[in-house]
Each structure stands twice: as structure tokens, then as C-alpha cells.
Amino acid sequence: MLKKIGLLFLILFLAFILRFYKLAEVPHGMAWDEAGIAYNGFAIFNTRRDEWLQRLPISFRSFGDYKAPLAIYQSGFFTEAFGMNLWAVRLPFMIHGVLAVLAIYLLFKEIFFKDKNQEKWALLGAFLLAISPWHLHYSRIAFESGIALNLMLWGLYFFFLYLRLKKLPNLLMASLCSISAIYAYHSSKVTIPLLFIFLFFKNLNVFKKKSTNIIITVFFSIVLLYPFLKDSFFGEGLSRASSMVFAQGYTALELLKKLLGNTLSYFSLDFLISGKNLGNYRHGDGRFGVIEPISLILIIFYLFFKKNKSKLLPTALMMIGLGLLPAIISDGQSSSNRSILALPGFILLIVLAIRSIYDVLESHKRIFLNALIVLYLAYLALYQINYYRNYPQKNADDFLDGYLETMTYLRQLDRSNIRQIVFTNDYQQAYIYALFTFEVSPIAYQGGILNLFFFTDKVDAGDLEKPNTIVVASKFDQMGDRQADHVIKGSDGQGRFFIYLPL
């Protein structure tokens, strides 16, 4: 028992270190989605209103769409406790990442409950998630998908625990966690209901014997979903539906081609292995895909060359398919963010493949597992080297590097005689970084407190002639022969913001 606990602790410690190390430094910069989540969390915590003065909304108006609420409400507690800084913003997402590793361990213990090597497969599943490049990436940035994945795993754990123990509190916890995931990220609204419907009918014989539990859980779930349902039908909860392929006016043939193309893109080597089809540098490092090459080899072997397959295979495939579904039906490029709910299905499939080989080995079982672990750790080392050495040189644009440093520099200046700050909007959404860094109340913001700033896409040398004006230009702006008084560089070493003080 102590050995098992020790191994689990080592895996959780590894998961923590991989996610915690340089959390606020890599990726360097703060994507505008991170800034939006953080500022609205701050606004809600302090005023109970978002940046648009909506009181305790369920859908948060964002940059061209609406965000799910859970990450925003959660963020306010962490920035209040640790300050308005990038480390505090990313910390809760990192915590969810580590908790997900514990959740998949417990989930796999239930899934493999009748297997004599139950503990082994649970630890292996936890290990694979702990070192997963896909999961690592979304555990280190403030994107809602990582929260949804964690909550979905806990929901699945309590569901499978209920199947074994038949205890109502477990079913209620499964409902609570799963519905929380729906409040965390839009993809969950598609994946989670369909996945639990599948699992319900797959285990219908269990639920027929406990109809009272089902009635209580359904009522409990409706109560929890009421704000979501109200917002969906009378608010902006279904605003993301406009981005689905079904809303783009395609003909039936065009729609079929689009869905087929989207599906194939998520099974391409560019997406799975090389990282060339992940969307952008917010969604990956551009060099490593979402699963390891050894995992793909194991999956191919199991699916196409192994004759006797596990009864768990349909569950694994359904988890993958339904996890990918929100991404497949979205009209846009491939996205590792929208598809991350498929990751537990991939890990289950990998564990099934490893188990199928392990069970037929005789005297070399331990050697086989140890060799696999060494291969996975070697791949992890390559990923980490690239992540910390090369990735920061590429992600400056996608993570809007330099905004926080620039706003912090401006906040420290004496602005008592300044009439205006002309600030470039070449990188877009500049205002949200001012709100975040200056910790502006949404009430003051809507009252015009940011009128000192003039955000514009057109900054040039003519702005330098304006009296008592600070000019902040981008690398794209033509500012004549005058040298900037201060230059903010990005993680790529290139100047991103050029600050000109009044003469």
C-alpha cells in the first residue's frame, strides 16, 4: 500500500513541477483571453459586475463572443489573494491540471476495478496525463478548457463509483462536477451531455434497479442547470452556436465535405504528432503534437492488429469521438483547445493497448513497462527542452507579449501633467490590459476613467508633436528618426512597444 501511495505521490509531484515551474514566464505574455478572464474576475469580485456593468452574468461578453462563467468567477478569488499578476491568473488553471491527474487515477481505478492489475493501469493513466504535452500546455495558461477537463474527469469518476457502490451521493457528485464543467467551457455543453447519455444507456441495467436515485439526480441537475438554461434561451448562452458549421449556410454537400475535412484534420499526423495543425501558438508550441509517437504506434497496433479487444474499447472510442465533436462541428481551423475533452479517451485507449501487450507477456512484463516509461520520459525531456528554449521565441505575437510590461511602466510614471496617452492598438484589445494593470473598477471604466488613453491603429511621427502626450508605438509604426525613450522587448528579443515621453 505504501509503495502504491508513494508512486501516486511521485506522479502528482511530477505533474505539479511540470505545471508550476516558470508558470508566469512561459508562455511569456498574456493572451487577451487570459486578460479578459482575469479582469472580469477582478471586476466581479469587487463590484459584482463585469466590464459592461452586467450584474453577475452567466455569459460574459468578450472579444467577439461570450465566455462561460466558471473560470471568471474563480479567477477573482485568486487575483484578490495574490494580486493582479500573471502568476495569480494562471495559478488556478495549474491547480486544475494537477487535480485532473488525481482524478484520472481514481477514474481508472474504477474502470479497471475487476482487473487484478487495477492499480497499475490507474497509475499508468495518471502518469500519461501528467506528462501529456496536450494537457501540460493547457495547464499552464488561463484557458477554460483545462478546468472543464478536470471537472469532467471528476464527474466520470463519481459516475463509475456509483456504478460500483450504488450510493446516491456519488451520483449527485457526478452531476455536480459534470454540470460545473458545462459552466466552465463551451465544448462541454456538447460533449458532457452526450457522453453521460451514452454511459447511462450502456449501464441501463444498473439504473433500472435504482429509479429513485435517477429521479432525485435529474431534479438536482435541473436545479443546477436552471441559470444555464435561462441564459441559453433568454440570454447569450447559445451565442457560440453561430460559429458551428450548421449556421454557415453550406449546402448539404458542402456541409458533408466540411465535416469530413474537420474530422480527418484531427486524426492527421500534423495534429497528432508534429503540432503543425493545432491552430496557433496559443494552442501549442508548433513542434509537438497532442500525443506522443509511441502512443500513436500503440493505438494503431491495438486497433488494427490486436484480435481480442477489451469491452472498454467502445467507451474509449466514444470518449474520443464526443470529445472531438465540438471541434469537428466548429467552422474554423483545427483547435487543440476545443478538442481537449477527447484526451481522457486517448489515454484510456493507450492504456488498453499497453494492457493487451502486457497480458500476453510472461517473464518480461516489468521490462516492457519500464522500457515504455523510459521512452515516455525521453519524449517528455525533448518536449520540455523545446518548450523552454524555443517556444518563447515563437509565442510573442500570439500571447501579446509586452502589454503587461508596457502598462506597468506607464502606471509607474508621473502622469500629473499628461493630457493624453496615444497607445497603439496594432496588437488589438489594448484596453483590456490597461484595465487589468491599472486595476480599474468597471464602474469607473464605463464612467470614462480611461479617457486619458487614446487607443488607435494609426500611430505615427506626427503624434510626437502633440504637447504633454505619451506615445506608445508598435514595431509596425513609422516614427521617424526619433529614438524611443523606452523599449519593451518580447520573449523573441524583438522590440514590441516603443514609448516616447513628452519633450
Question: Would residue 222 count as lying in a domain?
Answer: yes
Cis? peptide before 69, omega within 30° of 0: no
How many Cβ atoms from other residues are within 10 Å of residue 203's Cβ?
14
Is the domain of 452 the same as that of 325?
no
Half-sphere exposure of 10 (CA within 13 A, CB side): 9
Residue at a domain's end among 366, 393, 420:
393
Is the domain of 332 the same as that of 280?
yes
Judge residue 396's burial from the number of C-beta atoms within 10 Å of its C-beta, 0-12 exposed, 13-18 middle, 19 or more buried: buried
Tell me the per-residue pLDDT of 2-50, one tens digit each, with 9 for 90 and over. Answer: 677 899 999 999 999 999 999 999 999 999 999 999 999 999 999 999 9
Is the domain of 309 the same as that of 429?
no
pLDDT score at 240: 67
Question: Would residue 344 count as lying in a domain?
Answer: yes
Question: Would residue 11 count as lying in a domain?
Answer: no
What span, in angstroms and rounded, lies between the C-alpha atoms of 142 and 119? 32
Is the domain of 275 the same as that of 224?
yes
Is the domain of 388 the same as that of 418?
no
Question: Would residue 67 count as lying in a domain?
Answer: yes
- Low pLDDT (below 70) residues in the chain: 1-2, 237-240, 279
* Count of structural domains, the chain: 2
pLDDT score at 5: 86
Query: DSSP state, 236?
Result: S
Give the helix/strand (H/E) hosting 439. Answer: none
Residue at a domain's end among 370, 393, 416:
393
Is the domain of 425 the same as that of 306?
no
Question: Would residue 7 count as lying in a domain?
Answer: no
> Measuring CA to CA, how many Å separate 46 from each of 56, 84, 203?
11, 13, 46
pLDDT score at 237: 65
Is the domain of 310 the same as that of 458?
no
Is the domain of 258 the same as that of 292?
yes
pLDDT score at 210: 85
Question: Would residue 339 count as lying in a domain?
Answer: yes
Is the domain of 421 the same as that of 372?
no
Strand partners, 489: 495
Is the domain of 194 the same as that of 254?
yes
Is the domain of 133 the same as that of 262?
yes
Domain containing residue 456: 403-500
Is the domain of 375 the same as that of 428?
no
Question: Would residue 22 count as lying in a domain?
Answer: no
pLDDT score at 278: 74
Name 476's Cβ contacts closer than 8 Å, sequence gap at least 6: 424, 426
Residue at a domain's end among 393, 411, 427:
393
Give the CA angle between residues 73, 79, 83 to the nearest 5°.
170
20: left (phi over 0), alpha (psi -120 to 50) or beta: alpha
Question: Would residue 17 count as lying in a domain?
Answer: no
